[in-house]
Structure 1
């Protein structure tokens, strides 16, 4: 089971702003080379986002479908990586002090990744999630925080 979390110095609404912006997807999702227009209005349930994933010259086309969307705290996705199979990705965002706690939980569902679901695969997913959550934190924390803007009003 690959579950990781990260604390970000922004409110859940700011985190949700990034999660709900399809154009931000490739900035924080590891392995995504480019995203293509979504079908529907991301992240409404049933909406799909298409993308190219890969490492170096090896590429695969994939898509992600929104299965559960409860702003600003819960987003559950089913990601398909072509021949590799599909995975369930659950993202929760909870207020935590002055910021937010983001938890990511990913489990293979079907295809080759589900058949190869072993402890070494979970280690690889943990490393991927560490990088992905680090990237997500950077995107979310870019720009001034609500507290910074409030402090600027009082100066």
Structure 2
């Protein structure tokens, strides 16, 4: 099982605001290339994200199912990676002063990655998930657009047009 830990300069609620916004998934999950749909009940347990990974023309449509949703402490997801198989990804968040510690653990459930030696799977997955946590921190610490912690919440004006422009 691959594990990564990162100190984030935000609250656990900030992290879970990003996780709760399914449309932000490709911004923080390394390898996801696009969102196709977000289930109406996301992030409730059993809800599904529909996304793709890879680069055109080798794009694979897949899904991620939320298995545990316990904000602001824990989320467990199962990404279904087509021919790669299914993985279980647990994200645990603990407050630490005015920051929080975020741990991501990933393990293969089905597919060819299960036959890889643990050292190979763990090394590759830790490398990828270090970047995943970096991206998640960027969104959570800065206030991801489209969430309650968006640009207005961190003292910046919205980029949305307030009045029509006369042409």
Q: Which residue of 1 aligns with 2:53?
A: 53
Distance in 1, matches of 2:51 and 2:90, equals 19
Distance in 2, matches of 1:57 and 1:134, equals 27
Instruction: Name the stretch that deviates more: 117-126 or 87-96.
Output: 117-126
Contact 2:14 2:143 in 1 (8 A): no
1:31 aligns with 2:31: yes
Q: Which residue of 1 aligns with 2:130?
A: 130
Count of residue correspondences: 147
Q: Which residue of 2 aligns with 1:111?
A: 111
Q: Which residue of 1 aligns with 2:91?
A: 91
Q: Which residue of 2 aligns with 1:76?
A: 76
**Secondary structure, counterpart of 2:46 in structure 1:** coil
Distance in 2, matches of 1:117 and 1:40, equals 38
4+ residue segments displaced more than 6 Å: none
The CA deviation at 1:39 is 2.5
TM-score (norm. length: structure 1): 0.88
The CA deviation at 1:56 is 5.8
What's the Cα RMSD here?
A: 1.9
**Secondary structure, counterpart of 1:131 in structure 2:** helix
The CA deviation at 1:117 is 4.6
Distance in 1, matches of 2:143 and 2:85, equals 36
Instruction: Name the stretch that deviates more: 93-102 or 49-58.
Output: 49-58
Distance in 1, matches of 2:117 and 2:38, equals 29
Contact 2:23 2:38 in 1 (8 A): no
Q: Answer 1 or 2: which has greater strand percent.
A: 1
Structure possessing the higher radius of gyration over alpha carbons: 2
Structure 2: give runs of 5+ residues left out of the alignment: 154-167
The CA deviation at 1:40 is 3.5
Distance in 2, matches of 1:105 and 1:32, equals 18
